[in-house]
A and B are shown apart, each in its own frame.
Chain A
Amino acid sequence: DAKTTQPPSMDCAEGRAANLPCNHSTISGNEYVYWYRQIHSQGPQYIIHGLKNNETNEMASLIITEDRKSSTLILPHATLRDTAVYYCIVRVDGTYKYIFGTGTRLKVLA
Chain B
Amino acid sequence: NAGVMQNPRHLVRRRGQEARLRCSPMKGHSHVYWYRQLPEEGLKFMVYLQKENIIDESGMPKERFSAEFPKEGPSILRIQQVVRGDSAAYFCASSPATGGGGEKLFFGSGTQLSVL
Contact = CB atoms under 8 A, between A and B. Distances in A.
Nearest to B109: A43
Contacts of B4: 43
B48 A41 contact: no
Contact of B42 (A42, A45, A46, A102): A102
Interface string B21-37: 00000000001010100
Contacts of B109: 42-43
A96 B35 CA distance: 13
Given A44-B91, A96-B31, A98-B33, A49 B112 contact: no
A97 B77 CA distance: 17
A100 B42 contact: yes
B23 to A, nearest CB: 11
Contacts of A91: 101
Contact of B102 (A43, A44, A45, A51): A51
Please provide the 7 A-B residue pairs with the shortest distance between their CB atoms, ordered closest to farther.
A43-B107, A100-B43, A100-B42, A96-B48, A44-B107, A102-B42, A43-B109
Interface of B: 4, 31, 33, 35, 41-45, 48, 55-56, 58-59, 89, 91, 93, 98, 101-102, 104-110, 112
Interface of A: 2, 30-32, 34, 36, 38, 41-46, 49, 51, 85, 87, 91, 95-103
